[in-house]
Structure 1
């Protein structure tokens, strides 16, 4: 069984745009997904990237064109400029990591958290918004957090994911990394991931 390490962030529209297709591809190939929320605010400066506000007007304009293209192509009705972007994703990220540790469907949870931000224009810094996303994913946010671990341990894992991503050459979200070290950056590379999994 193939394992895919999934380096992502809830604030990325590209992560959300590819989330449903990625889940379908992984399931079809019987792959195990290890979701690894990552701090791209730390990854970017170490790998030559720039946060959105610091990019040139030309790059920001092209990003909007690409979001419109992929929104239509993937048939995912994202809002191009949601009210709460970027959100403080701390609550949601901690919940995703805790859910993964407990063997729950953390990828589905992350997808619903992405929907909250990118379709429903919710604030991921709002516990009620996060709880409702968990409910849509068939999970109980409060129960997951009660089962632990602590915020400090969850944050440690978040930092560990970030360091690991940098060690493996990851520089953007989402990135899907195979055991061989081959990785695919961006939801627009999912078809290549599909082909690689088919080859075994």
Structure 2
């Protein structure tokens, strides 16, 4: 059975614009997914990148044009000026980690709920009430928002270290068995083709 390690950030616009396509591809190929939320700003700093606000104006201008084009093709609401961006990624990331360990719900739906909260619903995903509601809607115990904080924090830090060691430099980033790496939501078709080839 194929496996995908999925490195992402709960505030990443391009991760949001991927929608549920990763989960659909995994289902198509019978592949499993391990969700690995990380601190994207720290990842940029560790791998030679910069936070969007610190990039050269040329890069900032292109990013906005590209996001607008991608957003126009997206099947959902995409607000390019969300009320709570950037916000603290850690609490929502801890919740994803705790939920994945607990099982019983839909981790993909939980991740999408946080991303949609930022880019489609103007929610602050660092707030406890928002996190608890997302957990419950995805079929998890909302108490995981508190009980998973310690283990979540440890794994969140470990995910960053793993990402750097495995060649990750942005989000969304997908790594399959055999160390095939795919960066960006616009590479999901390539991921699909690769899984077809190896199945």
- TM superposition score category, shorter chain reference: over 0.9
Q: Structure 1 regions of 5+ residues with no counterpart? A: none
Q: Is the 8 A contact 1:40 1:172 kept in 2?
A: yes
Residue 57 of structure 1 pairs with residue 52 of structure 2 = no
**Residue in 2 that maps onto 1:178:** 176
Q: Is the 8 A contact 2:39 2:90 kept in 1?
A: no
Query: Normalising to structure 1: TM-score of the pair?
Result: 0.93
Output aligned runs, 1:1-200, within 5 Å.
1-103=1-103, 104-142=105-143, 144-145=144-145, 148-149=147-148, 151-200=149-198
| CA displacement at 1:6 relative to structure 2 | 0.2
Q: Structure 2 regions of 5+ residues with no counterpart? A: none
Q: Is the 8 A contact 2:11 2:87 kept in 1?
A: yes
Runs (4+) off by over 3 Å: none
Q: In structure 1, how many angstroms separate the alpha carbons of the residues matched to 2:17 and 2:25? A: 14
Q: Is the 8 A contact 2:20 2:108 kept in 1?
A: no
- The Cα offsets for residues 23-62 of structure 1, whole Å up to 9 and x where unpaired, read as 1111111110000011222211221110011012221111
Q: Is the 8 A contact 1:116 1:133 kept in 2?
A: no
Count of matched residue positions in the alignment of Structure 1 and Structure 2: 197
Relative to structure 1, is the Cα distance of residues 91 and 4 closer, same or farther in structure 2, using a 3 angstrom cutoff? Answer: same
